[in-house]
Amino acid sequence: MTFYCLHIMAGLFLFMVNVNSSFADAGSKQILSFGNQLCQYNFYGIAAPDNKNIWVAGNFGTIAYSKDGGSVWNEQESTVTIELYDITFIDNKTGWCVGRHGVILKTTDGGNTWVQQNSDTEETLLSVCFINSETGWAAGDQNTIIHTDNGGESWFNQSETMDRILKKLTFVDKEFGWVVGEFGVILHTIDGGITWVEQENPLGEHTLFSVLEPWPASALA
């Protein structure tokens, strides 16, 4: 188990080196087509359904894609110009991206085209998670949690009443999920988000920014 975790950490480190190197040299600037404003771009979300295909999303509606593990990056047209905070893909074709003002974008062709969905909220969305092509959740400001069971054609409110900014959510299946955020809040559901229960955080009110789904038992064997 220790070796496996170290291997994963090493892989993540190498990926970050590849990303930084790709953004640093002049050739990559031309490939990305970001022009002279490259230094002003911040990337907040990353999705990697395998070890070759990677997407990142950030400010000014920026989405960039690499098909070779991060060596070469190309910008994709998102159709929006506001901050995009998270991105997820269930395979190499189908993905979603969320951001400011309740924006949700979906692609079914690997990011060549992005289509805006109606989230039915104006709150900033900071996190998005899908477990298959139909079932997903998004979370963000003002305790916002929304859910879809039809690939995002319609979204339904599952928000909590507490006053928190929810930074990150993850689900392991259609029932079990967690959300973390401002003031150390940890919420857990066992019914697909219909009800949420706050879990005790021994670290106090330190804001939590991310939560990772448990490794499958087969990966740790």
Could you read off the pLDDT of 136-162 as tens digits, one per residue? 999 999 999 999 999 999 999 998 777
Q: Sign of dihedral through CA atoms 29, 35, 40, 41?
A: negative
Residues contacting 6, CB < 8 A, separation 6+: none
Predicted confidence band of residue 214 (pLDDT cuts 50, 70, 90): low
C-alpha 50/C-alpha 47 separation (Å) is 9
Vertex 141: Cα angle to 163 and 209 (nearest 5): 95
Of the candidates 70, 102, 68, 73, the residue with the CA atom closest to the CA atom of residue 85: 102
Q: Report if pTM > 0.75.
A: yes
Average pLDDT, the chain: 81
Predicted confidence band of residue 163 (pLDDT cuts 50, 70, 90): confident
Domain locations in the chain as residue ranges: 2-174
pLDDT tens by residue, 115-126 = 999 999 999 999
Predicted confidence band of residue 165 (pLDDT cuts 50, 70, 90): very high
Amino acid at 25: D
The pair phi, psi for residue 195, each rounded to 5°, is -130, 145
Which pLDDT belongs to residue 213? 62
Vertex 201: Cα angle to 189 and 205 (nearest 5): 115
Q: Between 207 and 166, where is the model more confident?
A: 166
- In order of 37, 56, 102, 201, 211, the CA distances from 26 in angstroms are 13, 19, 35, 46, 35
Predicted confidence band of residue 73 (pLDDT cuts 50, 70, 90): confident
Q: With 60 as the cut, is the pLDDT of residue 206 above it?
A: yes
Contact 184, 203 (CB under 8 A): yes
Class of domain 2-174: mainly beta
Q: With 60 as the cut, is the pLDDT of residue 113 above it?
A: yes
Residues contacting 20, CB < 8 A, separation 6+: none
Q: How many alpha carbons lie under 13 Å from residue 182 in its C-beta half-sphere?
A: 12
